[in-house]
Structure 1
Amino acid sequence: MMCQNVLLISIKPEYAKLIFDGKKTVELRRIRTRLEKGDLVLVYVSSPLKSLVGYFEVEGTEIKQLPSELNDFWKQVKDKSGINRKQFLDYYQGALLGVGIFIRNPQKFTNPIHLEVIKKDIEKFRPPQSYKYLDVTEIEMFQSIVNENFLSQPKQLTLNL
């Protein structure tokens, strides 16, 4: 797999479950990302689970200007987002951008890694409020912690820092 970016993203437990069950194929955000097709997203599930549980590939992204494109955006993601229209409207209330990260090939780690275990190996680790781009060193540390090679050749990663 060749990718430009590796993103660590925090997701609520109920939405992470839908992603890994294949029922949610777009992750919605209010902040622009520089993700492109083929990039990798590591999924950290927030409280109460507080664990790194898996990853997915980016199928593509969609960025919409809000509020002018809100209805078009809803039509595009309504069957893929895992939320209803009211939740969608509440989430994007006052937002200037609507961002959809389209999901391909979600993979759960054999053994999810709890926050306390991560902090033993990466002392300064703090789960991102929304998301964080990882550098090659961080990617290698996470691969070591989960003991799975989710990115076959991290040395070939081209970072856009």
Structure 2
Amino acid sequence: MKKILLSIKPEYAEKIFTGIKTYEYRRKIFRDENVKTVVVYVTSPIQKIIGEFSIEKVLSDTPQNIWNQTKDNSGITKEFYDKYFHNRDKAYAIKIKSVNKYKKPMELKDFYISSAPQSFIYVDGSPCGIEE
């Protein structure tokens, strides 16, 4: 099963693992449809991999249509959403199916990753190596 690692801000990662936020928004998305799991790297000041979630589906549409479909479980404000997708024709929303918070947070190096990705990076297993 293929996985990707996403960098997510601490406040949004917390909302994902508490079930408040059931959609993760992205301006770019992975092309491999076999990706079924997202490994969550929490950005500064935490800078740890804290868990993962399984993907139910990925929505793709205009930013307005995506917001209309997902706003009740967005975990973010409309203002933040609009700013994030400003001047974009397409928006992606990853629908979160289930979450698995690790008992012990992990380092990027545990996954053989040297630095946090700006968008995403493919990973294989847990802990894992980078897939080209």
Q: TM-score, normalised by structure 1?
A: 0.72
Match of 2:52 among 38, 48, 55: 55
Q: Which of the two has greater strand per residue?
A: 2
How far apart are the structure 2 equivalents of 1:56 and 1:17?
12
Give the counterpart letter for 2:120 in structure 1.
Y
Deviation of 1:95 after TM superposition, in Å, equals 1.7
Partner in structure 1 of residue 18 of structure 2: 21
How far apart are the structure 2 equivalents of 1:36 and 1:59?
12
How far apart are the structure 2 equivalents of 1:112 and 1:10?
14
Number of equivalences: 130
Partner in structure 2 of residue 151 of structure 1: none
Give the counterpart letter for 1:55 in structure 2.
E
| Percent of matched pairs sharing the same residue | 34
Contact 2:10 2:43 (8 Å CA) reproduced = yes
Deviation of 1:130 after TM superposition, in Å, equals 1.7
Match of 2:64 among 67, 71, 74: 71
Deviation of 1:105 after TM superposition, in Å, equals 1.1
Partner in structure 1 of residue 85 of structure 2: 92
How far apart are the structure 2 equivalents of 1:39 and 1:20?
17
Deviation of 1:104 after TM superposition, in Å, equals 1.2
SS in 2 for 1:83: coil
Gaps of 5+ in 2: none
Deviation of 1:38 after TM superposition, in Å, equals 7.1
How far apart are the structure 1 equivalents of 2:34 and 2:22?
14
CA root-mean-square deviation = 2.2
Give the counterpart letter for 1:90 in structure 2.
K
